[in-house]
Every structure is written in C-alpha cells, then in structure tokens.
Amino acid sequence: MKPIVAIVGRPNVGKSTLFNKLVGDRVAIVDDQPGVTRDRLYRETEWAGKEFVLVDTGGLEPRNNDFMMTKIKQQAEVAMNEADVILFVVDGKNGLNPLDEEVAYLLRKKKKPVILCVNKIDNFQAQQDDVYDFWGLGFEHLIPISGEHKVNLGDMLDLVVDIIDQTVEEYEEEEGLKLAIIGRPNAGKSSLVNRLSGEERTIVSNIAGTTRDAIDTAIEFDGNRYILIDTAGIRRKSKVEESLEYYSVLRAIKTIKRADVCIWMIDGSEGLTEQDKRIAGIAYEEKKPIIIVINKWDTIPDKKNDTMKKMREELYAELPFLSYAPIEFVSALTGQRTTKLLEHAEAVFAEYNKRISTGLLNTVISDAIIMNNPPTRKGRVVKINYATQISTAPPRFVLFCNYPELVHFSYGRYIENKLRESFGFEGTPIDVIFEHKN
C-alpha cells in the first residue's frame, strides 16, 4: 500500500498548481470513456524511488460555499485521519492569514507529520522576510517553495520521502482474496461486512503506521479465505465527516489500491448519485475487477419479474464504462444473496488473471478485422499484423500495426468487445494497446 500525501490549505494558496507541478503530465489519459468522472484529484507519483499517492484536497473543495471556514477545517480533519504526510500550503506572498492559524491549530492537535510549505516564494533572497512569520505556526518542518516556478520542490520531496521512511511501517498482508467494500456513506458497507462475517468476525490485523484505525476482517466461506477491507464500520466517524465527499474518496482510494476485487455498494433505496459515480470511477481507473451491488433490496417496493432486468439496463446506461461488471441485488440486512458476492468475486478474479493463448487470440483478432477493418485515415491503411497478451491482472493485449497513432479509440473499443464476446472477461477491465511494428 502506497503512503498518501495530502495537500491542504485555504483556497488560492497554490495547492492545485503545486499538485500539477508535482505529478507533471507523465500520466497520459488513455481513453475517454463516457461517464467516467475524470477529476484529477489524486495521482501516483514517485521521488527518489519511493512511490506515494498525492491527493489534491483543493480539487474536492465545494465550488460555492458560504461556510469557508467550516469546510477548510473539515478538510484538514480529513487529511489528518487519512493521510500519512500532510503538505500544509500557505501563501508566502500574502502573508499569514487567520485561516492559516485555524488550520494549523487543528493540524498540530494530532500527531500526523506536517510539512509547512510557504508557497509563492519565487525569489527567496527578496522574500526571506515573508517566510519568518510562518515559523510562528509551530511546525518543525517548514520549507519555502514556489509551486509555479518549481523552486525548492526537490528539497520538499526529499523531506516527504524521509518522513515516509520514518513513519510508515510495512504492512504485512494476510492470506486470502482481498475484497474492498466501497460505496458512499450509508450504502450498507458495514452491514455487509457484519453479515458476511457473522459471529465470527475476527480482527486479523491492525494496519501499521498511521492508518491503524482501519482493520481487515478475515472470513472463510466454502473453504476459501477472504479479507474484507472496509474502514467504514470500525471507528464511526463524526456525522459531518461521514457526509464529506472527499472523505469517502480518500477512503476509497486507499481501500481500492490494496484490493483484488472491488465490491461497490449502491443504496438501492436511493439510487445512483454523483458521489457514487466518482467512487466507481476510482475503481475503474485503478483497473480493478468490480462487482456492482444494489443493496437494501428488501426496501424496493412492488418487485416484479423484470425489476432486476430493468434496473440492470438502467445502471449500465448510466455507467457505460462499467458494462463489464456483474450486478447483484442483495440485502445486507436479511442476508439475501450476500454470499453470492463471494462467488462473483472468485469468478471475476479468475477472469482478471486469465491468459489467452497467442494462437487463439490471433484467430479472434483476425476474424474481428475481417468483419470490420480499421478505418482508413488520411489516405493511409492501418494494417494489424499480430496480437499478443502481455500481462494479466488486468489482462492487457498489444496489437502490432503499421500506424498505431491512426487507430481511433472507438476501434480499440470494438476490439475489446470482440475479445469479451469470445473470452468473457466478465467483471474485469481489459486493456487493448496498439503498438508500432511493420
């Protein structure tokens, strides 16, 4: 599990600018699936060989709110609970602000490592005096930086890495298929964990380091072992925190990254919300297998023969990027169909790890090409010569062709659909990549 480094601070201090400079644009957007929430709120990055996840909490700030102070405080609160290192950004050009002091007070109360980044110090010689005031905030680590002009960012990252090395202990993984139970507050995540674990709920491990408030639950079913990863029910957060979007987003990021399979719970009595989609978007982007669960089935009135079918169709229409995911209808309250989720998990995980022989793959690809040639573009004909599966988990296919740059996204989608028709891959994302080779 990679450590989480969160950028916090009041608006306009330069959080987003810093975030963008730090992650660069090394991460290409590989496809543009409709419906995927593409907010770039978090990015994996690396410094001196140490990988971590950088979160821009600024990107999660509500756009228009009259309760600035409350929101910022809440944001700091969230960062304190979820992040391993906090980059507290202040505006060195405009000087110390009462809001900074409020945030500092909150951050100091907890024992999370904080680096106070005095930003907009574009020219340290000229602005030295601007920095001194900020020592008064009482943080051990203070560093003048300029996000925009990339001044001192290397030193700042060295500090981040040092702190990570000191504080984040290695986490020993338990044996078993790791299932992330994700979803927004009140979807029924804890209820599901309780239901599946029954009386024998055993706390198998405290996560080391700064995330020790999350625990895993090990269960056995049909001779198989599962680790349910759910941070929801362990320590009830305050109501305010629960309702915060970035809280569930941060939590989802953490959980999904560690998981083999995501179990995404939707409150069937409420339907799909934007927050739901955002959480699902993370699972999609992380390329993890996913099972969509409509919970609280017991509350759905007047169920008919085709109610499930209709709901499935509606969901897929709203979530076209997840059309490969199975949908199950459960009641965590009564236990109806909850163990089926474990069967689904086994199945999608097998698909996620499936390997197709090169011979068979090329037969399917050749047939697909005969039925529908890559469109000619700019007078040039794209010719696909050969395909191979380069990896599993997720399955990744490379198609070698003369002009990969001319292949449109929609043709890749067509090939993906053909692969799914022939080989299944239910519940797992797959990657289709075009590479150059004459």
Q: Which is nearer to ligand GDP, 183 or 427 (CB)?
A: 183
Tell me which amino acid residue 406 is. L
Judged by DSSP in three states, 183 sits in coil
Return all residues near 326 (Cβ < 8 A) that are at least 6 apart: 291, 292, 344, 347, 348, 426, 427
Interface residue with ligand GDP, options 190, 205, 243, 392 (CB under 6 A): 190
Q: Should residue 191 be labelled a site residue for ligand GDP when binding is judged by CB under 6 A?
A: yes
Interface residue with ligand GDP, options 2, 6, 15, 253 (CB under 6 A): 15
Q: Hey, CA dihedral for 121, 126, 129, 130, is it positive or negative?
A: negative
Overall size of the chain counted in residues = 438
Q: Should residue 36 be labelled a site residue for ligand GDP when binding is judged by CB under 6 A?
A: no
Find the binding residues for ligand GDP in span 68-97 (CB under 6 A): 93
Distance of closest approach, residue 236 Cβ to ligand GDP, in angstroms:
9
| HSE-up of residue 415 (Cα within 13 Å, Cβ side) | 27
Find the binding residues for ligand GDP in span 351-410 (CB under 6 A): none
276 is in an annotated binding site: no
Q: Which is nearer to ligand GDP, 19 or 434 (CB)?
A: 19
Q: Should residue 296 be labelled a site residue for ligand GDP when binding is judged by CB under 6 A?
A: yes
Cβ distance 258 to 205 under 8 Å?
no
40 is in an annotated binding site: no
Distance of closest approach, residue 265 Cβ to ligand GDP, in angstroms:
6
Interface residue with ligand GDP, options 3, 113, 144, 188 (CB under 6 A): 188
11 is in an annotated binding site: yes
Q: Should residue 119 be labelled a site residue for ligand GDP when binding is judged by CB under 6 A?
A: yes
Pair of tokens at residue 343: 């069967």
Q: Hey, CA dihedral for 190, 196, 200, 202, is it positive or negative?
A: negative
Tell the burial category of 24 from Cβ atoms under 10 Å away from its Cβ (0-12, 13-18, 19+): exposed
Q: Facing residues of 266 across strands?
A: 294
Q: Which is nearer to ligand GDP, 336 or 353 (CB)?
A: 336
Name which of 6, 10, 7, 12 is nearest 120 in CA terms.
12
Return all residues near 22 (Cβ < 8 A) that are at least 6 apart: 45, 54, 153, 157
Find the binding residues for ligand GDP in span 254-293 (CB under 6 A): none
267 is in an annotated binding site: no
d(C-alpha 52, C-alpha 83), whole Å: 11
The gap between the terminal CA atoms of the chain, to the nearest Å, is 40
Distance of closest approach, residue 11 Cβ to ligand GDP, in angstroms:
4
Q: Give the interface size with ligand GDP as a residue count (CB under 6 A).
A: 34
d(C-alpha 237, C-alpha 214), whole Å: 12
Q: Facing residues of 203 across strands?
A: 217
Distance of closest approach, residue 282 Cβ to ligand GDP, in angstroms:
16
Q: Should residue 245 be labelled a site residue for ligand GDP when binding is judged by CB under 6 A?
A: no
Binding residue ranges for GTP: 9-16, 56-60, 119-122, 183-190, 230-234, 295-298
Binding residues (CB under 6 A) for ligand GDP: these are: 9, 11-17, 58, 93, 119-120, 122, 146-149, 183, 185-191, 232-233, 295-296, 298-299, 331-333
Binding residue ranges: 9-16, 56-60, 119-122, 183-190, 230-234, 295-298
